[in-house]
Chain A
């Protein structure tokens, strides 16, 4: 299919991706590496030494550091040059987000400001709004916060109770309501607020801190990210000028969902940075801690942990930068002189809503895993506040909750997929019809041996198995499938595993071609593990789904067919993990 010139989200499910089209960290330009270097140096020298004060919620310090970050351009990447930003590509802004991660709570404050706080105006503001707000936001002289959640509306965001009433002369909207869990609330100057006009039209407003009637509730006493401000924002008869209505009345949901797409993707970039930091801390600790007269980094079980942490992080890294490249691809051919370029850009990113959710779920669960194993390596010390791994463990937990819980994101993957199929953007039904033949083809051409052949086969096989289960699920439930959350979650997990396995496969093959087999060896070891473990999960999800969808003879026939497709000679994971773990221990950090 010739789809090269068109952005096509989720197409990885039904066709093969050419490895040359993939963006990987090995493709970073010198300029992008320098962006990352400046970001890391800033965090290392300016933020890390003040960690304790930031964690005690010193607003003044955080605001000062955001200003300093602003002077370096660290919060300006996504703002167009015409409004004082850098207008950088998404690969660059992703790399900046990743490189900020070591700053823990501070990084969260920065990302909330430059991401969900600033981007609504970047994408949906009119020229006047952009001119008025963006230069200050891009330089960090003003700080933004995003106000969607309310006490009674979390995942069900559109049920918000905050209201906006148009004044008689049409010059103002009067906002009333309470927003909850608002990141940066304590020191933000600009609030992006969602409210319903006359109680029905969900709409976005730019509210300034200094407007009369804006007040804050107390700081939440949080489990983690304690150095970030999280407070309720209370709106009592706030007169917001009509010119501060963002986008169009009644189109707030478009803004909310588009911003969430980007927020989810940026979250994945951030947790990638944190996962690397957790590996560095844990490998360093293992290289200093002696038990039984040996460094614990020499023990196979510790090395296995380091290997597992490193492999998952490598997989996530491959997914994150692949996605950033896809988004850049969707944005590069747009007409940047057009007045609705913001809307077009948001649409370009929305094309990859499924990939954004995949990254969010896989990323947050990867960091949880890495933080947990990292703490385990630290033993009793990891359970004390003297070691930073304890912080990372606590800070990690929120990532599975905000920007849409992982449960909501799993449902989003499938509902978006369904919409794409219905609109004819993704020929899923057509594929389901030819699936039988394709599976026969696949089995006929199944490689018996050969370098990377088995891994490539397994990724293709996973796609066929997904389509098989999806087809059966539709046959049984039709449009009622959307109520079958357990099944949808399984299907979504299959989609996530496919994207993970394929990203790691393609990146590794690209590295091999570029660097040769000696330098690519660690990547190859990691790829094999990632694919075999990913396929184990795939097979188990498929079987559980089939056991629900079929019964009796039919089930036995289906399982036999799955068995045939999924047959594989296991790899020696114990040996591979020993090798990878040894390399991580030697390097004392995440390595590819």
Chain B
């Protein structure tokens, strides 16, 4: 079985975000595998160990993204591919096109990805990829069973669980609760060095620069700083009174 896992290298979730010259400053930042993608990797590894086949991790990103791929290889993935081309820095649409080209050329039975990336939070790339490849997708999955060419996925549905059945090939996005991702073991880390990691450019993928991004980032800024809170005092009537005054004072009206 050919299993692909699409991952993204993101800021460490403990990293402080600094805006410098209107852009998020990446200098000195620590990077990690997007936590939702870790569930996807773990699920892929478990399925491979159960059903056989191979797991390829793929990402689009700068040089540093190789570290994320190496970590996935150290966890146990078999191969990795890094799509990298300065002419193709783009939005979710472009990313999905690039991934689709790379994956289509090699063939696929199952594609996994995270539910969304913790940095941009768009939650689009994996779903667009399914569309590009013309296969079904099941999003936000918390349980997955593959039997022959059939996959049954459990997904969160507003507090309930929904079971969705699909034939392979299918694309699945992983939600928290799907599994407990393993740590890369030390021997795994040593083996990862010797595993194949392919670098692909736009040319390699047969994509020309006609693949222009369709969205533009106009501005990047931090959320406004939280103002000090206030605890209302006195009996209930006084508290209500004070609250109403405070809300009205902020320019809210109730009509």
Contacts and interface: CB of A to CB of B under 8 A. Distances in A.
Interface in A58-76: 71-74, 76
Contacts of B74: 34
B184 A30 contact: no
A71 B187 CA distance: 10
Contacts of A352: none
Given A30-B67, A30-B70, A31-B193, A38 B187 contact: no
Contacts of A74: 186
B185 interface: yes
A73 B185 contact: yes
Nearest to B180: A45
Q: Which of B74, B184, B186, B188 has the most CB of A within 10 A?
A: B186
A31 B183 contact: no
B71 interface: yes
Contacts of A71: 185
Contact of A86 (B70, B71, B190, B193): B190
Interface string B183-201: 1111111100100000000
Contacts of A191: none
B187 A34 contact: no
Query: Do most interface residues of chain A lie in helix, strand or loop, or is the interface mixed?
Result: helix
A37 B189 CA distance: 11
A88 B189 CA distance: 12
A72 B193 CA distance: 17
Contacts of B71: 34
A73 B70 contact: no
Nearest to A45: B183
A281 to B, nearest CB: 16
Interface residues of B, number: 13
Contacts of A34: 70-71, 74, 184, 189
A258 B121 CA distance: 55
A321 interface: no
Contact of A77 (B70, B183, B186): B186
A414 B117 CA distance: 58
Given A30-B70, A34-B71, A34-B74, A72 B190 contact: no
B183 A35 contact: no
Query: Do most interface residues of chain B lie in helix, strand or loop, or is the interface mixed?
Result: helix
A42 interface: yes
A38 B185 contact: yes
B189 A31 contact: yes
A41 B182 CA distance: 10
Contact of B190 (A31, A37, A41): A31
A73 B187 contact: yes
Q: Which of A30, A38, A76, A88 has the most CB of B within 10 A?
A: A38
Contact of B189 (A35, A42, A76): A35
B185 A72 contact: yes
A73 B192 CA distance: 14
Interface string A67-111: 000011110110000000010100000001000000000000000
Contacts of A30: 67, 70
Nearest to B188: A73
A35 B190 CA distance: 9
Contacts of B188: 73
A470 B74 CA distance: 52
Nearest to A86: B186
A481 B214 CA distance: 82
Interface in B61-89: 67, 70-71, 74
Nearest to B27: A519
Nearest to B183: A38
Interface string A538-575: 00000000000000000000000000000000000000
A496 to B, nearest CB: 33
A73 B186 contact: yes
Nearest to A40: B183
A86 B70 CA distance: 18
Contacts of A42: 183
Interface in A227-254: none
A30 B70 CA distance: 9
Q: Which of B70, B74, B189, B190 has the most CB of A within 10 A?
A: B189
Contacts of A37: 184
Contact of A38 (B67, B70, B189, B193): B189
Given A31-B190, A34-B189, A41 B183 contact: yes
B70 A72 contact: no
A72 B185 CA distance: 4
9 contacts: A31-B190, A34-B71, A34-B74, A34-B189, A38-B184, A38-B185, A71-B185, A72-B183, A72-B185
> What are the 7 A-B residue pairs with the smallest beta carbon separation, nearest first?
A73-B186, A72-B185, A34-B189, A38-B183, A73-B187, A73-B185, A41-B183
Interface of A: 30-31, 34-35, 37-38, 41-42, 71-74, 76-77, 86, 88, 96
Given A38-B183, A88-B190, 6 more contacts: A30-B67, A34-B71, A38-B186, A72-B183, A73-B186, A76-B187
